[in-house]
Amino acid sequence: MADMVIWSILGLLALFGIIAIIVRIRKGKQPTDYYAFFQMGIIFLPIGIVLSLTLDNFSMVNVFTIIGIIYLIIGLSHKKEWKKNQKASKKKKK
């Protein structure tokens, strides 16, 4: 049962990745939104911790924790660019 859940999560992540790549190719070059990396890190890190406490399969659970930490590091290392990217995205919406 847990094996099926893990494969379902992997399948959904792969699907979202493919969709993101297709959307990015169609829209063209956009500046990287490092605040989004920070937000994803905040989401992935607790999910990984909760899954590690509830499931016995630590290998897959550690992937979520590691991805969350990496996203947090990327987002925080480019913190100066957060407002610049948010201003650029607001101009595009108008």
Angle (CA) 83-64-70 rounded to 5° is: 40
Q: Are 22 and 36 members of one domain?
A: no
Place of tokens 């996203």: 71
Q: Give me the domain span that covers residue 76.
A: 31-94
Mean pLDDT of 15-35: 79
Query: Which carries the bigger pLDDT value, residue 53 or residue 42?
Result: 42
Q: Measured between alpha carbons, how far is 39 from 25 in angstroms, rounded to an integer?
A: 23
pLDDT digits (tens, 9 = 90+) for 46-92: 988 888 888 776 666 678 888 899 999 999 999 888 887 666 666 65
Q: Are 57 and 93 members of one domain?
A: yes
Dihedrals phi, psi of 33, to nearest 5 degrees: -95, 95
Q: Are 45 and 35 members of one domain?
A: yes
Q: Are 25 and 55 members of one domain?
A: no
pLDDT mean across residues, the chain: 80
Q: Are 24 and 40 members of one domain?
A: no
Tokens of 43: 């989401």
Q: Are 45 and 12 members of one domain?
A: no
